[in-house]
Amino acid sequence: MSAGNDWPVGRVAILALFVTALVAAQLTAAKVLAIPLPTEVPRVGGTVLLPGAALAYALTFFASDCYGELYGRRAARILVNVGFTMNFVLLALVWSTILAPGQNAEFAAQFEGVLAPATNIVAGSLLAYLVSQNWDVAVFHRLRAVTDGNFLWLRNIVSTATSQAIDTVIFVGVAFYLLPTYAGVGNATPWNVVVALMLGQYLLKLLIAVVDTPFVYAVVGIVRSRADAAAKADAAAKAGDRESNPEKPMVDEF
């Protein structure tokens, strides 16, 4: 979608969703959720264990796929890499607030306990983000080229499913096992729990990748239709202006 054929509201809304989900993922990653299942699942059991950021982080892939489909591979890469940089801005703002003197010492301690990101969580999250998001963009646009722009559902599901697998293994493996076990950073998690976390998180993300496909079609369709309508209205306005002012030089055509 060219700059002259754009719907700014749609672009800003997708960017806002990506940033909001990314910030929420960083702030909720440390909590481990326990979601009961209606039946037992092998290696998972009757309860799915997953990091609290799983849902929020899955939304970043939804947003980046919509953005990439509409604005191209380069724009999607810029979105992902700027988002990576903004993670450090978020951490700086959070820690500057934590380290600043507080009026109530007890509340300040509680504030730090809730918002202070553990080093192992931050390291695992940033590494997983950088690798998986760039993989998602690369696979999405490779499939787009191979299919001549058709089968949006295929590239959405395949790119998200593979990138989420990479993200899950890196984040859970680094944050909950490798750094605590071999570097003494963070609390070590038993291997069987680590595997359960990986499986639980990936099952949820895979489900989201399938379920969000109609929404990707909807968002892309709405933004494109609004952009086309805006372009037609702009062209009609220019044509009417030229008819009423025939001697006006058509500078915008050069």
pLDDT in tens, 151-189: 999 999 999 999 999 999 999 999 889 999 998 887 888
Other C-beta atoms within 10 Å of 117: how many?
A: 18
Please write the tens of the pLDDT for every residue from 31-61. Answer: 888 888 888 877 777 888 777 888 888 899 9
Please write the tens of the pLDDT for every residue from 206-239. Answer: 888 889 999 999 999 999 999 888 888 777 777 7
CA neighbor of 142 nearest in space, from 62, 224, 76, 212: 76
Residue type, 130: L
Kindly write down the DSSP assignment for every residue of 53-100, as one continuous string: THHHHHHHHHHHHHHHHHH-HHHHHHHHHHHHHHHHHHHHHHHHHHHS
CA neighbor of 60 nearest in space, from 163, 155, 138, 149: 163
The pLDDT, as a whole number, for residue 138 is: 95
Q: Tell which wins on pLDDT, 112 or 239.
A: 112
